[in-house]
Amino acid sequence: METMVEMLIEYGSLGIFLAFMVWQYTTMQKRLDSLVDKFQEQIDKMRGENSSQVEELRARYDTVIDNYNRERSELRAQLLHEIGEMSRKSDLIALTQENTISLVEDLKDRIRAVETLLDKTCHTLIEMQQEARLRELADKAIAARG
């Protein structure tokens, strides 16, 4: 170290300036290292805070998504139930319609049977009336002859 001091003194003000520059460089380097360490600590702290905030946000969004999924599932179940009810009612309506059509067809058949019976009855009445007229004519003819 003494040799270095002797060399710096030999160079005069230039040597002293060089010693100052070395001292300033080492001091600045320590200061910069200290600043870098503090900056790194701040970054680590910010990362930690950011991580916790991200986790909080994820937890909130997970809750929201779970609520939406639950609501969607409930809505889907409700819609399936309502569709089932509508299908059941539709089947009942179709069955009722088939029964009604069957009853209408049965009524048509009965009406045709009644019409046929009425036609036969009308023909029988007409024949009876004609026979009655013929008997009347025959009775008049017999009465007129005799």
Residue 1: pLDDT band (50, 70, 90) is low
**pTM of this prediction?**
0.45
**Predicted confidence (pLDDT) per residue in 71-89, tens digit:** 999 999 999 999 999 999 9
| Alpha carbon distance 115, 44 (integer Å) | 103
Domain assignment of residue 103, given as a range: 2-145
Helix (H) or strand (E) holding 55: helix 13-145
Give how many domains the chain has, as a whole number: 1
Lowest mean pLDDT segment, chosen from 1-5, 17-21, 91-95: 1-5
User: Above 90 in pLDDT, residue 119?
Assistant: yes
Would you put residue 12 in left (φ > 0), alpha (ψ -120 to 50) or beta? left
